[in-house]
Amino acid sequence: MEFNEAKAQFIQTWGKLGSEWGINRTMAQVHAILLISPKAMSAEEIMNELSISRGNANMNIRDLINWNLVHKELIPGDRKEYFTAEKDIWEVARRIIKERKKREMEPVLKVINQLKTIEGDQQTAEIKEFSSMINQLDTFVGKMDKSVNLLLNENENKLFSILFKLMS
Amino acid sequence: MEFNEAKAQFIQTWGKLGSEWGINRTMAQVHAILLISPKAMSAEEIMNELSISRGNANMNIRDLINWNLVHKELIPGDRKEYFTAEKDIWEVARRIIKERKKREMEPVLKVINQLKTIEGDQQTAEIKEFSSMINQLDTFVGKMDKSVNLLLNENENKLFSILFKLMS
DNA sequence: TTAAACTTTCAGTAATTATTGAAAGTTTGT
DNA sequence: ACAAACTTTCAATAATTACTGAAAGTTTAA
């Protein structure tokens, strides 16, 4: 397989995966490009590489920075901003998990906690089923939250060795 | 909090969570309704509850069945089809993980494997960086795949007890 | 075999989400 | 203080994704 073909396919695949998981396809593609770039890239280079507009490039780079997956790199004597991606894949995964947990899991936890306070005086079948499901979710999401916190504090080797060892 | 309010908020929250994770909002809402319903529901009831069209209800119910989260239930002497959701939350999570792994992780694994076959004769910085990233991904995704397989075979109690015990 | 009762499909439309590009904003060097 | 070099914003537009509703399809009972 030729390099440019491989590169294009990698960018495509990463973008598709992102969009299937609710992440803007272009953002994922920008991330892909930076992941395989041996050097920091300017917004200019990124927009050319992906054939996207300046505005689009800018916004998606900012988003990646907010996700803590990309950071600015200033080259002395150059007024442009350059960008590089975190290259350690376990670190990438850790940051994505951390961010999604914060953005999506925590609000759900909050709602579930509110929904536990539903009045329990009348006990129709509907209300019983509802309460039971909320309690199940509360327990489950709580455990998940705790597990994810633990996982996030482990390094890759420790993590996988734990997983493999204990489920034999 | 009043029951109907709580119910509405639950359906909303579940729908929002779904859409953030690349799942059709309506599909997630149908799932939410079935999760808290004490009895099997007809397409009719579901479309009324959510104010959606028959076609929409039908398609999303089918999708939920394809995800193995909902199943048909036939009531003797009634020609309508009724639907119920799997109510055990760990089982729900397990099925979602299984399905997403099959649909999204496995294709990515396949692509990564192809991308390993890039010609290595010329060694520009670009090609070296690309190969290194692909190799990292290959290792990581492979380990993840193995871990998920192991996790999917455990029951909830075993799983969390393992996680909690080992990361102390 | 017919028709009622139901389910499925899908072309057209609506809603949502992403992108462009030009104008406004910012920073830096002189 | 100015202007060049750059970044950011955002209203208009495009692209994508989801939904409707009516027609077609299927199943069942008599």
CATH at B38 = 1.10.10.10
Range scoring the smallest mean pLDDT among A18-27, A111-120, A152-161: A152-161
Domain membership of residue B10 as a residue range:
3-85
Residue B35 CA, nucleotide D29 C1', distance (Å): 34
Q: Provide mean pLDDT across the span B11-19.
A: 97
Closest CA to B24 of B69, B56, B71, B72: B56
pLDDT tens figures, B96-154: 999 999 999 999 999 999 999 887 678 899 999 999 999 999 999 999 999 899 888 88
Where among A21, A56, A85 does a domain terminate? A85
Chain A residues within 8 A of B20 when measuring between CB atoms:
22, 103-104
Where among A85, A103, A120 does a domain terminate? A85
B49 touches strand D (CB under 7 A): no
Same domain for A95 and A66: no
Our CA-based measurement puts residue A154 at a distance from the nearest CA of chain B, in whole angstroms, of 8
Our CA-based measurement puts residue A55 at a distance from the nearest CA of chain B, in whole angstroms, of 23
Where among A47, A64, A85 does a domain terminate? A85
Same domain for A148 and A111: yes
Give the whole-angstrom CA distance, residue B111 versus residue A13. Answer: 8
CB A70 within 8 A of CB A61: yes
* Residue in the block written with tokens 């079935």: B34
Give buried/exposed letters for B84-111 (b at 16+ CB in 10 A, else e).
bbbeebbebebbeeeebbeeebeebbeb
Percent of chain B with pLDDT over 70: 98
Indicate whether A13 pLDDT > 80. yes
Count of domains for chain A: 2
The DSSP H or E segment spanning A50 is: helix A43-50
Range scoring the smallest mean pLDDT among A153-157, B62-66, B163-167: B163-167
Indicate whether A120 pLDDT > 70. no
Chain B residues within 8 A of A128 when measuring between CB atoms:
38
pLDDT at position B164: 76
Higher pLDDT residue, B162 or B14? Answer: B14
CB B31 within 8 A of CB B70: yes
